[in-house]
Structure 1
Amino acid sequence: MLDYFFAQYNDYPVHEVYLELIAVFFGLCSVWFAKKDNILVFPTGLISTAIFAYLLWQWHLLGDSMINVYYFIMSIYGWYHWTRKNGDVQEFPISIMTRKNKVHAVIIFALTLVFVVFVYLYFNKFTSWYSYLDTLLTAIFFVGMWLMAKRKIENWIFWILGDVLSVPLYFAKGYTFTSIQYIVFTIIAIYGYLEWRKILNKTSQKL
């Protein structure tokens, strides 16, 4: 059983295995802090995404590599956005998407999809179902990260969908630790949505 799940690591450089484990650890920490609406989601996320951007490029998952570069940039923006206050009151608390946000989300999804398809075509990387799923996941996660930086509760819906689709992708590609990470991500994201919903309801009752 262990050979079935982890035999592929026999052919990997040792440093990549260690890097994957470190990235998984900080990735899990980041999602946990996001669930708790804790600002530490961003510094832990920066470490994880920087490592994964490198590893995914090495593994020829161009879309996911670009996702992590984008995550890195958006983590810096989100860190700033979440810390903004008007006196002692958070300027951007947890909220639901507005109509304008929805329009922007659709535009981000469409533009990301077109861009990643162009990249895959340019590098002639549409060689298996991995590539097509990777393209879709890039668009889903781009929207999810943007919504999280904006502190919109709907970000969890995109994370849940993307995490579920990522499990078979990484397992099929042979990256077992990362696949397991996405199983845990899915569970935390479900609880994250429920916890943010409670916070949002409490805030609404105070108004």
Structure 2
Amino acid sequence: MIEYLFSQYKDYPTYEITLELVAIIFGLWSVWCAKKDHIWVFPTGLVSTFIYAYLLWKWELLGDSMINGYYFIMSIYGWYHWTRKKGDVEEFPVSVTINKEKIIAFIIFVLTLVFVIIVYLYFGKFTSWFSYVDTFLTAIFFVGMWLMAKRKIENWIFWIVGDLISIPLYFAKGYTFTSLQFLVFTIVAVYGYLEWKKILQQKTVPQKIV
């Protein structure tokens, strides 16, 4: 079983395996902080996404590489957004999306999908089913990260869907460590949704939770 899971790494450079493990550690730390609605979700995420943006480009998963570049930028924005306060009160607490934000999320999804398809066509990378899945996955994660930066509970739904797709994708591609990471991400994302839901339920003003 061990050989089946990790034999893909026998021809990989040691530094790539090391970088992948470091990115995974910081990625798991970041998701755990997100679950706890803790600001450290962003600095830990910056480390993980920077490394993955580099590795995924080398692995020719262009969409996922761009996802992580986007994560890096959005982590900086989210870090700023989450720390904004009016006196001692958070200016942007955990909340649900309004109709206007749902429309924006849909536009982000469509534009991302079109852009990644163009990139794959330009570089001639539509050579396997991985590429087609990667384009769809990129759009899902773009929306998820935008919603997280906005501190919207629906971000967890996008993470759960994207993580479930990523598990077999990365395993089939030969990146077992990363595949296992997404398995853990899925579990944490489910608990993250439930925890943020409790935060909303504890507020004095009732809100409809999806």
Range of TM-score over shorter length: over 0.9
Structure 1: where are the runs of 5+ without partners? none
Q: Structure 1's 204 and 135: CA in aligned 2 closer, same or farther, altered over 3 A?
A: farther
Runs ≥4 in structure 1, deviation > 3 angstroms? 204-207
2:3 equivalent in structure 1 = 3
Deviation at 1:73, TM superposition (A): 0.1
Q: Which residue of 1 aligns with 2:171?
A: 171
Give the aligned residue type for 1:168.
P
Q: Secondary structure at the match of 1:203?
A: coil
The equivalent of 1:27 in structure 2 is 27
Amino acid at match of 2:142: F
Unaligned runs of 5+ in 2: none
Alpha-carbon distance in structure 2 between the residues aligned to 1:168 and 1:176: 9
Shift of 1:205: 5.1
**Counterpart in 2 of 1:92?**
92
Equivalent AA in structure 1 for residue 63 of structure 2: G
**1:54 aligned to 2:54?**
yes
Which residues of 2 match residues 38-53 of structure 1 at below 5 A? 38-53=38-53
Residue matched to 2:115 = 115
CA deviations on 1:106-129 (whole Å, 9 max, x unpaired) are: 000000000000000001111111
How far apart in 2 are the matches of 1:194 and 1:135? 28
Instruction: List per-residue Cα deviations over 1:128-148 (Å, max 9, x = no partner).
Output: 110000000000000000000
C-alpha distance after superposition, 1:49-101 (max 9, x if no partner): 00000000010000000000000000000000000000000000000000010
CA distance in 2, matches of 1:189, 1:163: 9
- Which residue of structure 2 lines up, in the alignment, with residue 13 of structure 1? 13
What residue is the counterpart of 1:202 in the other structure?
202
Residues 150, 123 of structure 1: CA spacing in aligned structure 2 closer, same or farther, 3 A cutoff? same
1:206 deviation in Å? 8.4
What SS does structure 1 have at the residue aligned with 2:97? coil
2:119 & 2:3 partners in 1: Cα distance?
35
Residue deviations 1:8-47, cap 9 Å, x none?
Answer: 1111000000000000000000000000000000000000
Distance in 1 separating the partners of 2:191 and 2:8: 32
Partner of 2:180: 180
- CA change 1:157–1:206 in 2 (3 A) is closer
Query: Is 1:129 aligned with 2:126?
Result: no
Q: Distance in 2 between matches of 1:162 and 1:90?
A: 29
Query: SS of the residue aligned with 1:156?
Result: helix
| Residue of structure 2 equivalent to 1:104 | 104
Specify the alignment match of 1:190 in structure 2: 190
Q: Percent identity?
A: 72
Cα 1:206–1:109, aligned 2, differ >3 Å: closer, same or farther?
Answer: closer
What CA distance in whole angstroms lies between the structure 1 residues aligned with 2:87 and 2:168? 46
After superposition, the CA RMSD in angstroms is 1.0
Q: Secondary structure at the match of 1:92?
A: coil
Q: Give, in angstroms, the shift of residue 3 of structure 1.
A: 1.1
Distance 2:206 2:174 in 1: 49
CA distance in 2, matches of 1:95, 1:11: 46
Find the counterpart in structure 2 of residue 78 from structure 1: 78
Give 1:204 deviation, angstroms: 3.6
Instruction: Give the TM-score of the pair, scaled to structure 2.
Output: 0.97
Q: Cα distance 1:206–1:157, how it changes in 2: closer, same or farther (>3 A)?
A: closer
